[in-house]
Amino acid sequence: MKRFFLTVAILFVALISTTSLSARELHVVPEPAYVDLEAEGEYVVTEKTRIIVVDDLWAPAARFTEDMMSYYGSDKPMRTSKHGNKGIKVRLDRFVPAEGYEMTVSEEGVLIIGGTEAGVYYGLQTLRQIIVTNDGKVPYGYIADEPTFEYRGAHLDVSRHFFSVEDVKRYIDILAAHKLNRLHWHLTDDQGWRIEIKAYPELTEKGSMRSETLIGHGLNPEFWDGKPYGGYYTQDEIRDVVAYAAARYITVIPEIEMPGHSQAALHALPWLGCNEQEVDVWTMWGVTPEVLCAGKETTYEFLENVLSEVIELFPSELIHIGGDECPKDRWKECEHCQAMMQSMGLEHEEELQGYLVARIEKYLISKGRRMIGWDEILDGGVTETATVMSWRGISGGIYAAERGNDVVMTPMSLCYFNFYQTESRKGEGLHIGGHIPFEKVYAWNPYEGMSDEAREHIIGVQCNMWSEYIKDMDTIEVMLLPRLGAMAEVQWAEDRRDESTIRQKMETMRKFYDACGWNYAPYYFEGRQ
């Protein structure tokens, strides 16, 4: 999985013998693989600095100039051209890993060499951090860098509370600055269906709006706000977000929940349920017993039709099908489900969910895609081609990896950024519970308890942002930052983290957040977690 790409023996020897002092002085998040700042001097970047584009790298150069326009407060982007002697030069080299880059800074300027456009973009993100936090002064030297994990993800739940296209783009900007490359977009749930499906317009006409919303953690009638709430994305808006993310080298993975967490769909299309009774879009949080009927062929036809449109909208190879927290009470009472189980020789309802998941996986494979789901998909048995998100702890991920499945580690106790950031919870407002401070994220070892064989199947790490108690983008940012800095170090630089330097690095990163205009929680910086 990891490919260290210092291409000559001298540099390799230098890596072994050089202390990490230079890297610490650089204060870049996430930590680069190798830094040599022994040369004296610095190159100063201004809004007049030219970007010299080689190998048709106009796209990453354009993203960089946009960022610099914001930083310099100028409506004129930095000039780009194919030729020039001094400035920021970008080019490709097939000997550099795909997401890796090399950066050389001298009196001639900054040279960034990437294995792909993405590698060049990540090099430019490192340069951007240095420019913003060091008044445009980039120290002479050399950086060679590449990520630990190929999948570096963050999740965003827009079902419990809806976020506008501009909000989602702002979220993407924050992820991109931390070198993440996956956005897991949770688009459907009991409390709202957020994606337009042309075959079933009722899903958004009816399923995107709930009558009211739970207030606080109570379950009594007086704890509802009495206000209709909803929203959804048109297919054109979905395409816009996907393209925006792709321009920042982020793949958007859609999640369409099944067979549980589907009450909004059941409200819109009651025939999807076992007893076909009418239910409301859910107005509280947690797990409802209302689930899709797994015993009727019309359910599978519905799911395939929905996924057909989803596939057209999202280029992602992975399509998330949920699969979590599905009560089986309705199935136990359903003549269709029981008849399906008898005809298939299934002994219990967990196997029926396994049958549904297997059918959906087969359909996705037939369309050239692959299935990813929460670790409950293991309960009914899945093929080795499925990717598993381990959220109920680490044991599901270890089990899946040992049996040959690719795994994304995202255990709730470490990766749910909707949890509180301080033990006292003072000044944090109302959230769902739990306590995940910055230091806990930073110290996490995603490989803990794994054999060498299992480690090979851990393709990545993800943090999750569930929105039951998060209603606006300002709060999203405060819950995300600065903990995303810790997560980025785990994802990109798992093997080179240093607890003795991270606080100083994050103080520098705080300047970056301020310059970008992003909200962040103060607790870590104040030393109270």
Quick check: 22 pLDDT over 70? no
Residue 5 confidence class, pLDDT cut points 50, 70, 90: very low
CA neighbor of 484 nearest in space, from 175, 185, 250, 166: 175
Is residue 95 domain-shared with residue 243, that is, in the same domain? no
Last residue within a domain, chosen from 145, 173, 203: 145
Q: What is the mean pLDDT of residues 124-149?
A: 97
Whether 509 is in a domain gets the answer: no
Q: Do the domain assignments include residue 256?
A: yes
Distance (Å, rounded) from C-alpha 487 to C-alpha 464?
Answer: 11
Question: Each residue of 181-201: pLDDT tens digit?
Answer: 999 999 999 999 999 999 999
As a whole number of angstroms, the distance between CA 401 and CA 381 comes to: 14
Clarify whether residues 134 and 157 are in a common domain: no
Burial class of 294 by CB neighbour count within 10 A (0 to 12, 13 to 18, 19+): buried
Asked whether residue 114 falls in the same domain as residue 156, the answer is no
Residue span of the structural domain in which 401 resides: 151-495
- Co-location of 203 and 312 in the same domain: yes
CA dihedral 401, 407, 412, 417 (to 10 degrees): 150
Query: DSSP letter at 420?
Result: B
Quick check: is 212 in a domain?
A: yes
Give per-residue pLDDT as tens, 447-484. 999 999 999 999 999 999 999 999 999 999 999 999 99
Q: Is residue 510 part of a domain?
A: no
Other C-beta atoms lying within 10 Å of the C-beta of residue 348: 13
Least Cα distance to 317 among 252, 257, 362 occurs for: 252
Average model confidence (pLDDT) across the chain:
94
pLDDT at 491: 98
Whether 1 is in a domain gets the answer no
pTM equals 0.95
E strands, 115-207, where?
Answer: 137-139, 141-145, 151-157, 182-186, 188-189, 192-193
Distance CA 69, CA 20 (A): 33
Pick the range with the lowest mean pLDDT from 25-29, 58-62, 436-440, 461-465.
Answer: 25-29
Q: List residues with catalytic annotation.
A: 189, 261, 325
Residue 162 shares a structural domain with residue 97 = no
Do residue 88 and residue 175 come from a single domain? no
Assign residue 58 the CATH number of its domain. Answer: 3.30.379.10
Q: What is the tally of structural domains in the chain?
A: 2
Task: Quick: pLDDT tens for 303-357.
Answer: 999 999 999 999 999 999 999 999 999 999 999 999 999 999 999 999 999 999 9
Domain annotation covers residue 198: yes
- Same domain for 225 and 135: no
Same domain? For 108 and 181 the reply is: no
Whether residues 73 and 161 fall in one domain: no
Specify if 522 maps to a domain: no
- If asked whether residues 274 and 232 sit together in one domain, one would say yes
Highest mean pLDDT among 23-27, 84-88, 271-275: 271-275
- Residue 521 domain flag: no
Q: Which helix (H) or strand (E) holds 258?
A: strand 251-258
Residue 11 has pLDDT above 70, yes or no: no
Q: Tell me, what's the pLDDT at 249?
A: 98
